[in-house]
């Protein structure tokens, strides 16, 4: 590979990671929702619905992004996402509490949908420049997405509590910054051409890759894909559940609001690191090792959260947040790299959007966790259910010989 293409793909990777860093503010919902509860009196259930809708529309945006990049390349979908994300955050900053439906439209429909388009477009376009290091490259990009709550979550919490700044300006500024970064990405990134000299992928036995490229219709007919899909959905529910009520859970243990916000940041860091670690592990050891790794740490994460809720232990809480973040991040990256390894590069963007749809049922399972929380009056029951999810996912992965 020439130095020219080395510089180009590194530039793409850096800009992509920054774009996803701003876009990942979605994961700081447990912090961003605070002013809506305090100022407008919207309930936790109403705000949990907003998060579920946001993730659902994010997944639909991924589908749209996959279709657009296949037909138009990355420029058009990134421009569309920039407009939608800016509009979503800017309009959210104008809410007056008259109707929570406006929150659902502005934040979930505009911002969530727009970020979904950007997410798939960025991963598919930039990832195609790293056939030799697909896992690591996607892990680095996803690390930016997952670490956003730490980088910006605490900052947002501080600024929202500042009378001279406030939550409205926080949403507006984030919308402007994210929109600008996505526009920059739109005008610099391109898909590799046949004449571009890129390294060949490592077709080792550890990766268990197939040479055939499958269309979305073909992989939807494979039972093994659905076993993979259900397993990743159940494992993703662990992180999705905690993200929706992380700050509240931490405060229920006895931490101060500022400390709880910091713990949400720690969860975010672990989420980001989990994506990069899983990518590196995948490149070295392959699918089977990574899926077992995710199953183990997701189960341990849920168990730690149960123990933290039973004992009010801050130490167990911190460990639980770290393991949940690592498992959730690893799960997100594993979906993207396994999709390309088993189903080929030719239809990667569309196939990736199908894999990312695991986030849709995961978000509804997260909503179920909130329902169980309200019904039981504590966090023990939701996490016990999540342990069962992890065990089912483990059985599905162990009996699945191909992705």
pLDDT mean over 58-86: 93
What's the predicted TM-score (pTM) here?
0.77
**pLDDT at 106 (0 to 100):** 96
Higher per-residue confidence, 306 vs 367 = 306
CA neighbor of 30 nearest in space, from 132, 127, 131, 157: 157
248 vs 317: CA distance, rounded Å: 12
**pLDDT at 205 (0 to 100):** 42
152 vs 372: CA distance, rounded Å: 30
pLDDT mean over 307-334: 90
Q: What percent of the chain has pLDDT over 90?
A: 37
Please name the residues in contact with 4: beta carbons below 8 A apart, sequence gap of 6 or more.
none
Would you give the DSSP letter of residue 192? Answer: P
pLDDT mean over 82-90: 96
Statement: residue 213 has pLDDT above 90: no
In the numeric block, the tokens 């309200």 are attached to: 374
Higher per-residue confidence, 369 vs 18 = 18
Please name the residues in contact with 239: beta carbons below 8 A apart, sequence gap of 6 or more.
271, 324, 325, 327, 328, 329, 331
CA neighbor of 26 nearest in space, from 154, 138, 146, 173: 146
pLDDT mean over 281-285: 83
Q: Which of 69-73, 102-106, 283-287 has the lowest mean pLDDT?
A: 283-287
The runs of H, that is alpha helices, within 357-401 are: 359-376, 380-398
Q: What is the mean pLDDT of the chain?
A: 86
CA neighbor of 294 nearest in space, from 324, 317, 337, 263: 324
191: left (phi over 0), alpha (psi -120 to 50) or beta: beta
* Contact in structure between 108 and 87 (CB atoms under 8 Å): no
244 vs 50: CA distance, rounded Å: 10
- pLDDT per residue as tens digits for the range 164-209: 888 999 999 999 999 999 999 999 999 988 777 787 766 554 444 4
pLDDT mean over 33-43: 89
Higher per-residue confidence, 118 vs 239 = 118
143 vs 131: CA distance, rounded Å: 19
pLDDT mean over 391-397: 92
Higher per-residue confidence, 333 vs 205 = 333
CA neighbor of 291 nearest in space, from 337, 240, 354: 337
Please name the residues in contact with 263: beta carbons below 8 A apart, sequence gap of 6 or more.
246, 247, 250, 255, 317, 318, 321
Alpha-carbon dihedral sign for residues 138, 139, 142, 144: negative
302 vs 389: CA distance, rounded Å: 10
**pLDDT at 208 (0 to 100):** 47
Domains of the chain: 3-398 (1.20.1250.20)
Q: What percent of the chain has pLDDT over 70?
A: 95
**pLDDT at 269 (0 to 100):** 80
- pLDDT per residue as tens digits for the range 94-151: 999 889 999 999 999 999 999 999 999 999 899 889 888 878 888 889 888 877 877 7
67 vs 84: CA distance, rounded Å: 17
Kindly report the CA angle at 138 between 137 and 140, in degrees rounded to 5?
65
**pLDDT at 401 (0 to 100):** 67
CA neighbor of 10 nearest in space, from 141, 115, 202: 141
**pLDDT at 207 (0 to 100):** 45
């Amino acid at each position: 590979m020439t130095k020219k293409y080395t510089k180009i793909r590194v530039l793409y990777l850096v800009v992509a990671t920054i774009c996803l860093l701003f876009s990942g503010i979605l994961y700081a919902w447990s912090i961003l929702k605070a002013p809506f509860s305090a100022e407008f009196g919207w309930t936790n259930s109403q705000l949990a619905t907003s998060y579920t809708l946001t993730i659902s529309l994010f997944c639909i945006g991924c589908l749209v992004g996959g279709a657009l990049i296949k037909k138009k390349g990355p420029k058009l979908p990134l421009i569309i996402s920039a407009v939608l994300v800016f509009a979503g955050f800017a309009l959210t900053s104008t809410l007056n509490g008259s109707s929570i439906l406006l929150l659902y439209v502005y934040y979930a429909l505009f911002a969530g949908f727009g970020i979904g388009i950007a997410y798939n477009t960025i991963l598919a376009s930039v990832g195609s420049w790293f056939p030799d290091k697909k896992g690591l490259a996607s892990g680095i990009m996803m690390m930016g997405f997952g670490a956003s709550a730490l980088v910006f979550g605490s900052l947002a919490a501080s600024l929202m509590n500042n009378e001279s700044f406030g939550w409205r300006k926080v949403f507006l500024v984030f919308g402007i910054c994210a929109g600008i970064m996505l526009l920059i990405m739109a005008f610099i990134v391109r898909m590799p051409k046949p004449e571009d000299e890129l390294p060949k992928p490592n077709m080792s036995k550890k990766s268990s890759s197939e040479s055939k490229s499958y269309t979305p219709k073909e992989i939807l007919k494979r039972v093994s894909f659905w076993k993979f899909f259900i397993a990743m959905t159940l494992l993703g529910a662990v992180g999705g559940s905690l993200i929706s009520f992380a700050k509240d859970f931490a405060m229920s243990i006895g931490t101060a609001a500022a400390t709880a916000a910091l713990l949400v940041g720690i969860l975010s860091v672990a989420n980001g690191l989990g994506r990069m670690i899983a990518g590196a592990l995948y490149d070295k050891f392959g699918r089977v090792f990574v899926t077992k790794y995710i199953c183990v740490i997701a189960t341990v994460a849920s168990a730690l959260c149960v123990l933290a809720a039973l004992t009010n232990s801050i130490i167990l809480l911190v460990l639980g947040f770290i393991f949940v973040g690592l498992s959730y991040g690893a799960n997100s990256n594993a979906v993207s790299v396994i999709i390309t390894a088993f189903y080929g590069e030719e239809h990667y963007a569309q196939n990736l959007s199908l894999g990312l749809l695991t986030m849709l049922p995961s978000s509804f399972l997260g909503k179920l966790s909130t329902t169980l929380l309200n019904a039981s009056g504590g966090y023990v029951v939701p996490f016990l259910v999540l342990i069962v999810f992890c065990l089912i996912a483990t059985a599905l992965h162990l009996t699945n010989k191909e992705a």
